[in-house]
Amino acid sequence: MAGDRPLVQGTPLLEARGLTRILPGVVPVTLVQNVSFTIGCGEFVAITGPSGSGKSSLLYLLGLLDRPTAGEVLIHGKATHTLPKKDLARIRLEQIGFVFQFHFLLPEFSARDNVMIPMQRLGALTPKQQKTRATDLLKNFGLADYVDRLPAELSGGQRQRVAVARALANAPRLILADEPTGSLDSRATEQVFDTLQSIVTETGTSIVAVTHDMDLASRMQRRIHLVDGAIDTDQILPPSVRD
Amino acid sequence: MNLLFKIAGTHVRNRLRQTIVSTLGVALGVGFSIAMAALMQGSQRDFVESLINAIPHVEIRDEKRDPTLQPASRFYQAVAFHGLRPLDDIGGIRNPTEAMASLRDWVDGNLAQQLSGQAVLRYSGQDLGMTLVGVVPTDELSVSTIKDDMRRGRFEDLATTPDSLVIGDSAAGRLGADLGDTVTVTSASGLSKRFKIVGIFHKGVSASDEALAYAPLKAVQILLEKPNVINRITLRLDTIAEAPAVAERAERQLGYKAVSWEEANEGLMEAFAVRNVIMYTVVGAILVVAGFGIFNIISTIVHEKARDIAILKSLGFPEHDIQLIFVLEGLVIGILGALAGCLLGYGLSSYLSTIRFEFSVGREMTHLPIYMSVWHYAIASGIALISAGVAGFFPARRAARLNPVDIIRGAT
Ligand SMILES: Nc1ncnc2c1ncn2[C@@H]1O[C@H](COP(=O)(O)OP(=O)(O)OP(=O)(O)O)[C@@H](O)[C@H]1O
Ligand SMILES: [Mg+2]
């Protein structure tokens, strides 16, 4: 079991230090408030909290898509707030897989082509290898028969799974997923969860997943509960509770 | 890069109708520019060509660049002299044989000598003031196109018939004289001589047709009382481009003013230059307008594809890539437009060259002069591409700077 390994090995993969994000305006809105935690390699973390509690906003900050008003995000112990946009893009491409709450796919590209886009940009694999890898990833999520379909020809749950497969494309160290199973039935949820769990176990990739599904959250190693943009509880769940 | 191309391609295909319209805008701009350039340069070349045929390439006149100093000036340093009677100068190029021989030594082309002066032609009670030009017929034929202008009679007959005359058709008409008639020619000093008309020409230039007459050089020298004097040497060169250099050398050698055809028509050359500037300004303006079309469609696409831009940026595409996608889209439209425009331009200029016109007055023009040059295509396409690149650049930069989180938040 993954949980038998130490949770933090050496330098943490991701560290949030006093992360605060305030939307400026006549009435400034605080999205995230003084959030600090570390995530090591091979962790599967659930972020829970009521709707509007700032889960998505926190994920954007962790994924280097948004810049914090205060605090910083460190990747492998390296500060990111001083890096130019170009370098942040490179980190996202190589090390972070992002799944949006509302599965965003490029509408003109087939399921497989969508999964191949990050690989093509990175260029680490040959086109043939890229195609094979994309097909395999989709197969893992039960989409073997849908590789050539356009997003418009897929159901909401199928699109969500394509988005998860795309986040895995470049074998990132960190996957940030915003409700990856939000529109899936229990069978498909099971399939996605098992696939993600096996990736964590086999490759030491860390996953931070926002979820409303308490049952699902309770099966992960750790749960961070947000209320009004701040951490309410951050608990490590012992394997006994999970199984 | 391939991927960026592919993404750009999908955007363009999504907006196919608008893309085609803005491509057509560029194509029309490029096409008309090319046709216009072909017509403008064609007419210019046509004009210059007929000009070069009609006038000597280099003309040496019995004038000095600077006015001759009066003897008094040579002896006294003074600002001005009063009551001075200027020295009489009978003018003309003295020693024509020697001058001609020294020029023949090095000039590649033909030379002809002339003595011209004012005279009055009289026939059946009609008087007509004319410029009488004494020529050596064979030389004159070798430097001018007078042979092609002959309507009746032969120019060569000036050499075989003593005291013969070739006059313009308008002049002949005014005098009521015809081929074979004998007219009386009176010089300014009152000397008279009878000449027989052996030829009638029509140059299409009324000044010549109304008031120019050719006669053998010897006869004119006698009539004007300037024996062994000429006042003009005309050159027709093998290589027209050498005209300025030849003129300069001839002037240095002989000390008389030598003028190349370009110098003689300086005003005309300037007018052509101005015309070209105007033309390229109009071409530029057309293509800038086409550029606005491109700007418009790329802006629309950026707006429409904001979500895709956010996705790409979140996947780790740097701003530079995003910008490139949209600049590429602009360039694709520009390139397609330029290609279509080149075809259109070729078609238009080919069509224009088949149109025939007839002008009764002045120079005859049987068809529109079209000159096709790769440069017209290159310049028009180049301007179109620059304009397309610039038009794509600004929306592309806006796209690159979009904040993905703003878009994602807005979409939820
Ligand atoms: N542009 C905005 N202007 C003002 N308030 C905003 C803006 N964007 C988000 N918010 C607010 O910020 C808070 C956090 O939003 P966020 O999307 O992070 O919540 P969430 O936890 O992901 O919610 P959900 O579970 O519904 O997805 C919410 O209360 C939301 O109303
Ligand atoms: Mg959310």
Q: Which of A60, A85, A109 sits opposite B405 (nearest CB)?
A: A60
CA distance A186 to B248: 99
Q: Which of A60, A89, A106 sits opposite B316 (nearest CB)?
A: A89
Q: Which one, of A75, A68, A105, lies nearest residue A91 by Cα?
A: A75
The answer to whether B90 and B286 are in contact (CB under 8 A) is: no
Ranking A137-146, B60-69, B391-400 by mean pLDDT, the lowest is B60-69
Q: What is the pLDDT of residues A174-233, one digit of tens each?
A: 999 988 887 778 888 888 888 888 888 888 899 999 988 888 888 888 999 999 988 888
Would you say the CB of residue A97 lies under 6 angstroms from ligand 1? no
The answer to whether A47 and A224 are in contact (CB under 8 A) is: yes
ipTM over 0.95: no
34-53 in A: which are within 8 Å (CB) of B?
Answer: none
DSSP 8-state assignment for residue A13: S
C-alpha triplet B193, B195, B201: angle, nearest 5°: 140
pLDDT score of A33 more than 70 = yes
Q: At what angle do helices B319-354 and B306-315 cross, to 10 degrees?
A: 130
β-pair partners for B200: B152, B167
Quote the pLDDT of residue B67.
63
Question: How high does pLDDT run on average in chain B?
Answer: 86
Six token digits for residue A198: 């096996």
130-169 in A: which are within 8 Å (CB) of B?
Answer: 166
The answer to whether B372 and B352 are in contact (CB under 8 A) is: no
Would you say the CB of residue B409 lies under 6 angstroms from ligand 1? yes
Atom 31 in ligand 1: residue holding the nearest Cα? A52
C-alpha triplet B382, B383, B389: angle, nearest 5°: 90
The DSSP secondary structure of A63-86, one letter per residue, reads TTSS--SEEEEEETTEE-TTS-HH
CA distance B254 to B93: 9
Q: What is the pLDDT of residues B290-335, one digit of tens each?
A: 888 889 888 988 888 888 898 999 999 999 999 999 999 999 999 9
User: What pTM does this model have?
Assistant: 0.73
As to burial, measured by CB atoms within 10 angstroms (0-12 exposed, 13-18 middle, 19+ buried), residue A144 is exposed
Q: Please indicate if any CB of chain A lies within 8 Å of the CB of B307.
A: yes
Ranking B60-74, B228-242, B381-395, B398-412 by mean pLDDT, the lowest is B60-74
CA distance B170 to B176: 10
Residue of B nearest to A170 (CA): B315
Which residues sit with Cβ closer than 5 angstroms to ligand 2, an ion?
Answer: A 56, 101
Look at residue B334 and give its three-state secondary structure: helix
Q: Please indicate if any CB of chain A lies within 8 Å of the CB of B402.
A: no
pLDDT score of B87 more than 70 = no
CA distance A22 to A28: 6
Helices (H), A16-145: 55-62, 85-95, 111-122, 127-140
Quote the pLDDT of residue B288.
84
The answer to whether B309 and B407 are in contact (CB under 8 A) is: yes
Q: Locate the domains of chain B by residue range.
A: 2-52+268-409, 90-259
Q: Which one, of B127, B95, B124, B100, lies nearest residue B112 by Cα?
A: B100
DSSP 8-state assignment for residue A50: -
pLDDT score of B183 more than 90 = yes
The DSSP secondary structure of B260-308, one letter per residue, reads EHHHHTHHHHHHHHHHHHHHHHHHHHHHHHHHHHHHHHHHHHHHHTHHH
Quote the pLDDT of residue A6.
45
CA distance A125 to B238: 67
The answer to whether B287 and B387 are in contact (CB under 8 A) is: yes
Atom 6 in ligand 1: residue holding the nearest Cα? A29
Ranking A6-10, A17-21, B76-80, B401-405 by mean pLDDT, the lowest is A6-10
At B168, give phi and psi (nearest 5°). Answer: -75, 155
The answer to whether B250 and B257 are in contact (CB under 8 A) is: no
| CA distance to A97, A109, A143, A176, B67, per residue, from A146 (Å) | 22, 13, 5, 24, 96
Residue of B nearest to A107 (CA): B308
C-alpha triplet B84, B90, B95: angle, nearest 5°: 135
Question: How high does pLDDT run on average in chain A?
Answer: 86
The answer to whether A134 and A119 are in contact (CB under 8 A) is: yes
Which residues in chain B have their CB less than 8 angstroms from residue A106's CB?
7, 10, 308, 311-312
| CATH architecture, domain defined by A2-242 | 3-Layer(aba) Sandwich (3.40)
DSSP 8-state assignment for residue A152: G
Q: Which of B3, B314, B412 sits opposite A120 (nearest CB)?
A: B3
* Maximum distance among all Cα pairs of chain A, rounded to whole angstroms: 53
Quote the pLDDT of residue A131.
92
Count other C-beta atoms under 10 Å from residue A84's C-beta. Answer: 10
CA distance A194 to A200: 10
